[in-house]
Amino acid sequence: MTSAVASVQVCEICRTEIDELSPASVCPSCGGLLELRHSFLDGGESLSALFADRRRATRGPDASGVWRYRELVLPSARADEVVTHPEGNTPLLESRAVARWAGWDSSEQLLIKHEGHNPTGSFKDRGMTVAITQAKRSAARAVACASTGNTSASLAAYAARAELPAVVFVPKGKVTGGKLAQTIAYGARTLFVRGGFDECLALARSASAELGIQLLNSVNPFRIEGQKTIVFELLEQLGWNVPDWIALPAGNLGNTSAFGKALRDAREAGLIDRVPRLCAVQAAGAAPFARSFAHGFAERITVEPETIATAIRIGAPASWNRAVRAIRDTNGVVASVSDAEILEAKAVIDAAGIGCEPASAASVAGVRKLLQSGTISRGQRVVAVLTGHLLKDPDAVTDYHAARTADRPHANPPIEIEPRVSEVERAMRA
């Protein structure tokens, strides 16, 4: 890996610039969130050729679907500093069944970018490889995050790989079995906080500031840089032909912000000449951003969140301003979908052999709704991002499929039998 110019961290509010290696988690002058600014040395064609060439690598940072794009992520990181699994390299899938359910005739109109194929089963690994690499570079003693479960699983795994102590703050009773199992098994000190995600994040912020621990939530700008590669990779998979829409589930709004910055950076670097519209989708019971969007983002709203999609059960999203910018810059929209719509979308995605956790299905449920309302038109091409793996939340599956009812038409309940062929025959006919 060649070393390149260092990037700078810039405050999104007062524009104060601080050193790339500073461990500050917010602007030291005004408390605003920080963002990385790179200098692009090459033009679009030489960059896309470089990225394509690295796809031949079988080991090391070039084999990572994050570090392959390092000129746009963290150009100054050296190969021996990078903590990688590797991650990324996730598929862009077509499914006739999912496209048909969402309202398209052709599976080419609705493509599915499956981030559940990352090493810990969610898109969080893309941000975490960069944040943990940076934590090592800036000599962190320990790392922390608040989480609804996926960030904690990812942080725990990457901290273990980097041999850094990790502490995670999770809402007691609101994290799925799969995510909790990962977090504990990978060795993070796991704190069950009596409160929701929003309280966990507030506590993680003050505890890390007071105790000298590096906070690796998506307020951390290095997480955002890594998550941008979801967009770079899907654009590259489309031959840098820009789709009309990119849809994603939204909770704390880190990923929405990352997608906005990815598109700005890709255009500035000359990789694309126009941007797709972003479609951020929230669960109706946890939809402060969607409600604010409906009023032109006139005010910053918080809610008491409740949804089956525990990953996005968030009432006071932290990356608010930069997500507003992402939606405005891309002429995007913010939608909300009910838990019933999420569960139906998930059942269709699961039965198509693709599978995802409940929060992920919000993107496909949202796209279906916007196609019905005419915001998205049938001739347009959409990429829907699935953010987490089906096995993250096995309880959601067994609960849904326990019995077929009018509101659960896709249920596939298991059938209990005596060990006799006649009973097998009967079950096959049922």
Q: Which is nearer to ligand F0G, 226 or 388 (CB)?
A: 388
Interface stretch with ligand F0G, choices 27-35, 43-51, 136-144, 145-153 (CB under 6 A)? 145-153
Q: How far is the CB of 55 from ligand F0G (least distance, A)?
A: 26
| Interface stretch with ligand F0G, choices 72-80, 94-102, 254-262, 370-378 (CB under 6 A) | 254-262
Q: Which is nearer to ligand F0G, 4 or 391 (CB)?
A: 391
x-marked contacts with ligand F0G along 148-167 as a string, rule CB under 6 A: xxxx----------------
Quote the least distance from Cβ 66 to ligand F0G, whole Å: 16
The radius of gyration computed from the CA coordinates of the chain, to the nearest angstrom, equals: 21
Nearest CB to ligand F0G, comparing residues 75 and 305:
305
342 binds ligand F0G (CB under 6 A): no
For residues 9 and 307, which CB has a smaller minimum distance to ligand F0G in the complex?
307
Residue 98 or 269 with smaller CB distance to ligand F0G: 98
Task: Considering the complex, state which of residue 71 and residue 393 has its C-beta at the smaller distance from ligand F0G.
Answer: 393
Residues 11-70 binding ligand F0G (CB under 6 A) are none
What's the token pair of residue 400?
A: 């849904």
- Does 249 participate in binding ligand F0G (rule CB under 6 A)? yes
Q: Which is nearer to ligand F0G, 72 or 359 (CB)?
A: 359
Which position among 168, 311, 342, 376 is part of the footprint of ligand F0G (CB under 6 A)?
311
Residue closer to ligand F0G (CB basis): 47 or 146: 146
| Sign of the C-alpha dihedral computed for residues 345, 347, 353 and 358 taken in this order | positive
253 touching ligand F0G, by CB under 6 A: yes
Report the site for ligand F0G in 83-102 (rule: CB under 6 A): none
Instruction: By CB under 6 A, tell whether 251 contacts ligand F0G.
Output: yes
Binding mask 205-234 for ligand F0G (x = CB under 6 A): -------------x----------------
Residues that bind ligand F0G (CB under 6 A): 122, 124, 147-151, 218, 249-256, 311-312, 357, 359-360, 387-388
